[in-house]
């Protein structure tokens, strides 16, 4: 379903960011355990890097990639929030925000709201249909070939409208 795919992008990016953070932390830990030999004389005109220097550069490259992924994650979260905020139903907005922006499990949302899981899932299906209508009205391609970018004429401050 296109609406669910659109809404789940932030969760997928969040997971990828967490993995990259863990990878960087492991690499940093490994670097702190290394000892750099000081008994060898280094020739200044040699372009060859030591394994430790190469590892440090790799960590720095991963940190730059992480920063770019975080920036993209925030943009995607804004886009998803913009679409959610176009829903007329406050309940739908709340439910979708809790799950797709705050990553709360359905069971927790149902418990917080005092609802059965079945009823919540039914409402989720109805909300997804409304999101489909919003995405269609915004002319976002079915394939998401725009990598989740909303059309330029869509303001982030747009007020919710009826689909």
For residue 95, give the nearest of 116, 115, 124 by alpha carbon. Answer: 124
Long-range contacts of 17-24 (CB under 8 A, 24+ apart): 17/66, 17/69, 17/70, 17/73, 20/62, 20/65, 20/66, 20/69, 21/66, 23/62, 24/59, 24/62, 24/63, 24/66
Provide the pLDDT for residue 30.
Answer: 86
Full-prediction pTM beyond 0.75?
Answer: no
Provide the pLDDT for residue 159.
Answer: 34
**Could you tell me how many residues make up the chain?**
163
How confident is the prediction along the chain (163 residues), in pLDDT tens digits per residue?
499 999 999 999 999 999 999 999 998 888 887 666 666 665 555 667 777 788 888 899 999 999 999 999 999 999 999 999 999 999 999 999 999 999 999 999 999 999 999 999 999 999 999 999 999 998 766 544 444 444 443 433 333 333 3
Provide the pLDDT for residue 45.
Answer: 59
Residue 163 lies inside a defined structural domain of this protein: no
Residue 81 lies inside a defined structural domain of this protein: yes
Residue 28 lies inside a defined structural domain of this protein: yes
**First-to-final CA distance of the chain:** 18
Residue 157 lies inside a defined structural domain of this protein: no
Supply the range of the domain harboring residue 65. 2-34+50-137
Residue 150 lies inside a defined structural domain of this protein: no
Instruction: Enter the tokens of residue 31.
Output: 């670097």
Cβ proximity of 139 and 129 under 8 Å: no
Residue 89 lies inside a defined structural domain of this protein: yes
Provide the pLDDT for residue 145.
Answer: 41
Structural domain total, the chain: 1
Cβ proximity of 34 and 52 under 8 Å: yes
**Can you tell me the distance from the alpha carbon of 86 to that of 97, in angstroms, rounded to the nearest whole number?**
12
Residue 156 lies inside a defined structural domain of this protein: no
Residue 144 lies inside a defined structural domain of this protein: no
């Amino acid at each position: 379903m296109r609406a669910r795919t659109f809404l789940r992008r932030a969760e997928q990016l969040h997971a990828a960011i967490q993995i990259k953070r863990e990878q960087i932390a492991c690499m940093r830990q490994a670097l702190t355990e290394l000892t750099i030999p000081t008994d060898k004389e280094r020739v200044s005109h040699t372009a060859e890097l030591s394994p430790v220097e190469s590892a440090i550069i790799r960590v720095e490259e991963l940190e730059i990639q992480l920063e770019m992924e975080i920036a993209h994650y925030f943009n995607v979260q804004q886009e998803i929030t913009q679409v959610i905020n176009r829903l007329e139903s406050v309940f739908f907005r709340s439910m979708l925000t809790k799950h797709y922006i705050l990553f709360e499990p359905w069971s927790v949302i149902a418990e917080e709201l005092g609802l059965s899981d079945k009823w919540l899932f039914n409402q989720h299906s109805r909300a997804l249909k409304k999101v489909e209508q919003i995405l269609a009205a915004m002319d976002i391609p079915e394939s998401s070939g725009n990598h989740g970018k909303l059309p330029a004429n869509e303001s982030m401050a747009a007020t919710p409208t009826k689909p």
